[in-house]
Amino acid sequence: MADTLGIRMDKLLSFGHLEKPVQQHLKQVYSCLSIAMICASAGAFVYMFYLQLGLLTVLGSLGFMLALHMTPHTPSNFFKRMGFLAAFAFFSGMSLGPLLDMVIRIEPSIVPTALMGTSVIFLCFTFASLFASDRKFLFLGGILMSCLSWMLMLGLLNIFMGSRLLFQLNLYGGLFVMCGFILYDTQLIVEKRRRGDTDYIWHSVDLFIDFINVFRRLLIILAQKEENKKRRN
């Protein structure tokens, strides 16, 4: 019984319903994503203990992302583009430094809890997207972009209003939107590969941004809950 169950799980996790080129492409995408995660962790560590660059971290991450996007996806540019990806992820990790510093002051255990929660969310929505045999999640693109536009406008409006209700709406609404982007971007990557787009380095950037955005919001939500708990006590 256990052997049969193990065989079924192996078949299930092999994504046999996907074409071989798509499977190989996904392996490359998630390999790049893993490298980006390691670089982001290193960036956050450097910010916390060695070097704080403030706004330069945001400018650095945007600059390297633009450089990666503008560099053609060719074999000769592989190491250059991987360097741009690593630098983009490193500076993205550094840009999380101020938030991580604030959260650690409230309760250090929030960081691993948020990381674990983000990983579970990311894996669940990734599997849900990959196991969907049709392209039913691609229709989410327009809805998610509209939601993102509204969130941006609410965020700008709240700079002047300072409303806690709008902040909470943006925070929790943003979490749901980012979860939707995991579904959408994962299925979009599969569809792009089927249409001949083999740029797995750039495709990993989309998933990396989704992961970071979910992680950032979970950090804030858990920190708020911990602060409220301390106030009640």
The two three-digit tokens of residue 33, written as one number: 């994503």
Question: Long-range contacts made by residues 118-122, C-beta under 8 angstroms, separation at least 24?
Answer: 118/211, 118/214, 118/215, 118/218, 121/179, 121/182, 121/214, 122/182, 122/210, 122/211, 122/214
pLDDT of 145:
86
Q: How confident is the model at residue 139 (pLDDT cuts 50, 70, 90)?
A: confident
What mean pLDDT comes out for the span 50-64? 82
What mean pLDDT comes out for the span 73-89? 94
Specify the higher pLDDT residue, 171 or 211. Answer: 211
Q: Is the pLDDT of residue 7 over 50?
A: no
Computed over every residue of the chain, the mean pLDDT equals 85
- CA nearest to 155, candidates 166, 142, 164: 166
pLDDT of 9:
38
| Cβ neighbours of residue 230 closer than 8 Å, sequence gap 6 or more | none
Please give the C-alpha separations between residue 20 and each of 168, 201, 207, in angstroms, as whole numbers: 43, 18, 21
pLDDT of 15:
59
pLDDT of 116:
95
**Phi, then psi, of 94 in degrees rounded to 5:** -65, -35
| Residue 24 CB neighbour total at 10 angstroms | 14
Specify the higher pLDDT residue, 210 or 55. Answer: 210
The two three-digit tokens of residue 88, written as one number: 């983009």
Please report, in angstroms and rounded to a whole number, the separation of the first and last CA atoms in the chain. Answer: 51
